[in-house]
Structure 1
């Protein structure tokens, strides 16, 4: 394209612009757009001052907290929303005024403002950089296609592009697009409903904790199965397509998803036979121990006393051995070792230590009283042990063994009972005198 052609095109555009500038309809639309741009920030500022939910962030205990948070965060692009509304009103007003009757320029401005609203909403509501990029490169072009009036042509093209021919209802690019969009939307709503539903079920204190967990998991399974069927029906996938999907899924489970399926089934077994419940204190192979925090579809979370969460596959509870300290009863027996000197009156020591330990508020007198037992004759002391019962696990907030150790130490000190320390007797070998060699006199020879 040479310079003459570019000059001719520019002259045509300038001539068309001059015609528009002489047209009252065009000037009226320009004035409407300028007025909307000027009024939008003013009205947005007034709305922020007048509407409390836009003025300040909602409190954590406010009703409808999620809705309030969404409305408050929407205030960050309130100006763009007001601009779209003003342009829509301007287009309606221009169409109704007989001297003008045209609104094409206002419509273009409104479309661009709408796309900008979508862009700002993505920036505000999506914090993850990856999701933000995906949404920006998909939703913004789709919004632009929609506002420019090419949506039907676009969807028609996608609907005519067949991926899997299946008789009268083939799977097209549009089907996959619907599956992705509605799947994301429905499963997001399902995750919110799942959290609310499980919270409500677990809040039923009249039910046993195991029953609550079973009902919560059944609710989760049924909810997501229903959502999956809704997504498939909304996307327009025929029933014959479901056979193909389930066949592929079965093949995938047979080839590579066996561990996932095994953990899923193991989770159901754990919930149904109630061998492990939320709140139980378990010790697994390898020294992992802690309380069961949650039982999920694939794994179980064990919370340790030092604040760490250990994710354990559900198959570890169905295929391996483990200790459940609180399976049937929260009562546990503990012991604390100590030593006394050989001069101690053991007959008087036993009731002394037993009564002192029993005075602790967490030490129980059932199923057995604290028992002071003789263990062995040590090198430096008589090794003793006190056994006692408590309700709970000696970990985290409970320090039964530590408390009893302090009680024993104070009791022995108060009664002048010696706590011996290791002693060793060292015998020194007698010194052996070594005869000194006779001194040799040296003669000095003068030369």
Structure 2
């Protein structure tokens, strides 16, 4: 194509554009479109003003999922009202004005606004939002202008045959596009559903966790079946093949299945809850921070996370220090010299320990839970004593009481003149005369 032909085409195109701009029908359509957009904008704002639930939701505000979803619906009111009105305006413009191409363009723009608002409000991942915009917006445009059908026919004609399998460019694009949308919708619905379930105050923790996990499994199972349908795989044949494969996988994945079933059992039998302090058979301890259907996460007081398979909580024994009662009893040992007034010491130590703010004490506390000081035995250098006390929680982390009480007992004994013994040895000379003879 030479420059002369290009120049002639540009002249022809400019003449057509000028002819369109000089037509009265063009400005009539433009006026109709502007009127519809103005009406939709005004009516959407009035609706959001009268219905505060559909008002703009602040991004960082602690709102419920339903309130935030209502705010997102409010963002769609303007383009949806525009689409509704422009749908009628297309037929109206065609019958009254004789043309409707500009109204159809405005309808396509309104559809693109809806699609873009959905991506803006619901897609948090920047890469996925980028893909949806630059892949989805052209598809919406092509569908609106009725060019998508011919494009699909061209892509279907681009095929590669591998034995009895035919792979087309359209099939690959369809699986990638709809697969991404399905997994995004599954993740979004899963997160929203779990958040709604966990906000239900009438349900206890275990019922919430069971419902949330079952919802997660159900959503992704449905997505998997839909993706198979999109790929064109016959589910009947897959069921026969899956039965044979399932037997083989059962042996290899029995540990995963065991942990999955154990997770359900743990949630149902109420043996472990979030915040419980667990001690395993091997001596490892930690606070339960997360319960999943595969493992339980224990957080130690030195900042480490222990991932424990759920099967261990079903097949092995463990100690749950705070399962039904947060109160725990602890003991601090010390010694005093033999010539001490033990009766006075007992009362002094009991009063000192009871003064600690984290130790349970007072007349409203049962007698067996108040601080108690007793003799443990008679040692080589002094009387072995101990004091028992109860407190809320575990004596570790933020509740470190044992060290404070040791220092408190030490200061109290020194204040009242009690001596803490230490090992001593006596050397006696039985025959002084023989010793002197040996020296001479």
> Is the counterpart of residue 282 in structure 1 residue 278 in structure 2?
yes
Shift of 1:239: 2.3
Shift of 1:103: 0.5
Shift of 1:410: 6.3
Find the counterpart in structure 1 of residue 387 from structure 2.
Answer: 386
Mapped to 2, the partners of 1:273 and 1:55 lie a distance apart of 43
Mapped to 1, the partners of 2:216 and 2:334 lie a distance apart of 54
Relative to structure 1, the CA distance from residue 261 to residue 382 in structure 2 (aligned partners, 3 Å threshold; closer, same or farther) is same
Question: How do 1:85-234 and structure 2 match up within 5 A?
Answer: 87-88=86-87, 90-97=89-96, 100-153=97-150, 174=174, 180-182=180-182, 184-186=184-186, 188-197=188-197, 200=200, 203-204=202-203, 212=207, 216=211, 219-220=214-215, 223-224=218-219, 227=222, 231=226
Question: How do 1:350-389 and structure 2 match up within 5 A?
Answer: 350=346, 352-354=348-350, 357=353, 361-362=360-361, 365-366=367-368, 370-374=372-376, 377=379, 384-389=385-390
Shift of 1:297: 0.9
Find the counterpart in structure 2 of residue 443 from structure 1.
Answer: none
Kept in 2: contact 1:159–1:175 (CA 8 A): no
Mapped to 2, the partners of 1:177 and 1:302 lie a distance apart of 39
Mapped to 1, the partners of 2:8 and 2:226 lie a distance apart of 55
Mapped to 2, the partners of 1:50 and 1:182 lie a distance apart of 35
Kept in 2: contact 1:263–1:297 (CA 8 A): yes
Find the counterpart in structure 1 of residue 10 from structure 2.
Answer: 10
Mapped to 1, the partners of 2:161 and 2:335 lie a distance apart of 81
Shift of 1:298: 1.6
Find the counterpart in structure 2 of residue 338 from structure 1.
Answer: 334
Find the counterpart in structure 1 of residue 288 from structure 2.
Answer: 292
Find the counterpart in structure 2 of residue 65 from structure 1.
Answer: 67
> Is the counterpart of residue 25 in structure 1 residue 32 in structure 2?
no
Mapped to 1, the partners of 2:335 and 2:123 lie a distance apart of 64
Kept in 1: contact 2:25–2:99 (CA 8 A): yes
Kept in 2: contact 1:354–1:372 (CA 8 A): no
Look up the SS of the partner of 1:394 in the other structure.
coil
Find the counterpart in structure 1 of residue 435 from structure 2.
Answer: none
Given the two structures, how large is their TM-score scaled by the length of structure 2?
A: 0.69
Given the two structures, how large is their TM-score scaled by the length of structure 1?
A: 0.68
Look up the SS of the partner of 2:12 in the other structure.
helix
Find the counterpart in structure 1 of residue 430 from structure 2.
Answer: none
Shift of 1:181: 3.7
Kept in 2: contact 1:91–1:103 (CA 8 A): yes
Shift of 1:107: 0.8
Aligned pair count reads 410
Look up the SS of the partner of 2:98 in the other structure.
coil
Look up the SS of the partner of 1:333 in the other structure.
strand
Relative to structure 1, the CA distance from residue 115 to residue 244 in structure 2 (aligned partners, 3 Å threshold; closer, same or farther) is farther
Relative to structure 1, the CA distance from residue 293 to residue 386 in structure 2 (aligned partners, 3 Å threshold; closer, same or farther) is same
Mapped to 2, the partners of 1:220 and 1:21 lie a distance apart of 57
Shift of 1:282: 0.8
Shift of 1:148: 1.8
Kept in 2: contact 1:340–1:384 (CA 8 A): yes
Shift of 1:115: 2.0
Shift of 1:158: 7.4
Shift of 1:4: 0.9
Q: More deviation in 336-345 or 414-423?
A: 414-423
Mapped to 1, the partners of 2:217 and 2:290 lie a distance apart of 19
Structure 1 gaps of 5+ residues are 425-447
Relative to structure 1, the CA distance from residue 393 to residue 177 in structure 2 (aligned partners, 3 Å threshold; closer, same or farther) is same
Relative to structure 1, the CA distance from residue 199 to residue 229 in structure 2 (aligned partners, 3 Å threshold; closer, same or farther) is farther
**CA RMSD between the two structures:** 5.0
Mapped to 1, the partners of 2:108 and 2:374 lie a distance apart of 86
Higher helix share: 2
